[in-house]
Amino acid sequence: MSANPEVATTHPPSAAALSEEVAEPRAAQQADNIVHSMEVRGVHKTFGDSQVLSGINLDFVDDRITTILGPSGTGKSVLIKHLVGLLEPDKGEVLIFGKDIWNVSENERYELRKRFGVLFQDGALFGSMNLFDNVAFPLRKHTDMKEKDIREFVMGRLTEVGLERSVAKLPNEISGGMRKRAGFARALILEPDIVLFDEPDSGLDPVRTSLLNDLILEMHERHKGTYLVVTHDIRTAHKVSDYVGVIWRGKVVHYSEAAGAFGSEDPFVRQFLSGDSAGPLGMD
């Protein structure tokens, strides 16, 4: 992982629950002038007449794995797209390494995006390219590395995710779990400071989900970085999280260290994290 001198590595967890009602601790934290990899401040987003994000505040803890949980359709993917600068907030801001991603030049936004690795829900591989070329693509596009070095790098990543024998396969010739692992290898290829996972567990059976979660932990241990895992799968959250946030109806309703989330007294958080049908969370 390329160290960035600007970025403090780990820091003690702030009281970063940070729904608007508890904005005080954040104000105190701002005074420290610590630059974090990702901060979300009061982000609102409406599509047509449906308000999807209604003032999201999140301070991610650097070099840790944060899981954001929320029911389907709550805006988890929309949040990821805001983090990586693919969607612009109607109101509020997203700071990446202290820079408002929509208040910098196009060029700077592009440079900031290169510090992210993103594993989209379906792996988002190019269907006409084999796994080797899929993983090599960001290196060929964004660096002037020689093919020999590219080969070494790509094979290194593909070996780490257990795909060294499938490099010549096309995405539609391999299983969903393998596609996710290939997407993961590609997400890591530029040695990103931040890795975002959009429902890495979707479409996988429990065993493959568990194996992928092991891989997330292993790769985080090896490469470090600030990881955000968005999911609606409580088992995934249990397994990989250092911190857990829960979003519902466009707001962060809980944010704490993992143990605090799973021990929460809040009726909504309890219902959601236990997967109960009885409780405040209804079908709407």
Ligand X SMILES: Nc1ncnc2c1ncn2[C@@H]1O[C@H](COP(=O)(O)OP(=O)(O)O)[C@@H](O)[C@H]1O
Contacting ligand X (CB under 6 A), which of 72, 105, 172, 277? 72
In 143-205, which ranges are continuous DSSP H helix? 147-160, 176-188
For ligand X, the binding residue among 23, 32, 47, 86 (CB under 6 A) is 47
**Which of these ranges, 45-53, 77-85, 135-143, 163-171, lies near Mg ion under the rule CB under 5 A?**
77-85
Q: Which of 17, 38, 52, 196 binds ligand X (CB under 6 A)?
A: 52
Binding mask 112-151 for ligand X (x = CB under 6 A): ----------------------------------------
Assess contact for 175 and 211: CB atoms under 8 A.
no
Which token pair is 154? 């790509």
Query: Which alpha helices (H) appear in 20-105, and where do they start and end?
Result: 24-30, 76-83
Tell me, by CB under 5 A, how many residues bind Mg ion: 2
Comparing CB distances to ligand X, the nearer of 71 and 156 is 71
CB of 107 to ligand X, least distance (A): 25
Residue 271 binding target from Mg ion, ligand X, none, CB below 5 to 8 Å by type: none
72 binds, among ligand X, Mg ion, none (CB under 5 to 8 A by kind): ligand X
Residue 46, interface with ligand X (CB under 6 A)? no
- Vertex 191 angle, CA 188 and 196, to 5°: 50
Cα angle 37, 21, 53; round to 5:
60
Four-residue CA torsion sign, 225, 230, 231, 232: positive
- Residue 53, interface with ligand X (CB under 6 A)? no
Instruction: Return the structure tokens found at 280.
Output: 């405040």
Q: Single out the residue of 33, 36, 16 nearest to residue 24, CA to CA.
A: 16
Q: How far is CA 57 from CA 138, 151, 184, 281, in A?
A: 31, 41, 27, 21
Q: How many residues does the chain have?
A: 284
Told to check if 70 binds ligand X by CB under 6 A, we report yes
CA–CA separation, 38 vs 221, rounded Å? 20
Which one of Mg ion, ligand X, none interacts with residue 98, CB within 5 to 8 A by kind? none
Alpha-carbon span 24 to 212, nearest angstrom: 38
Letters for 196-215 (x = contact with ligand X by CB under 6 A, - = none) are: --------------------
Given candidates 76, 181, 220, 270, which one binds ligand X under the rule CB under 6 A? 76
* 143 counts as binding Mg ion under rule CB under 5 A: no
Comparison of 58 and 78: residue with beta carbon closer to ligand X:
78
67 is in the binding site of which of ligand X, Mg ion, none (Cβ under 5 to 8 A by kind)?
Answer: none
Element (H, E) at 217: helix 206-223
C-alpha separations of 24 from 52, 119, 146, 243 in Å: 25, 34, 51, 20
Among 77, 143, 202, 271, binds Mg ion (CB under 5 A): 77
Binding status of residue 73 toward ligand X by CB under 6 A: yes
Q: Least separation, in Å, of the C-beta of 158 and ligand X? A: 28
The distance of closest approach from Cβ of residue 77 to Mg ion in the complex, given in angstroms and rounded to an integer, is: 3
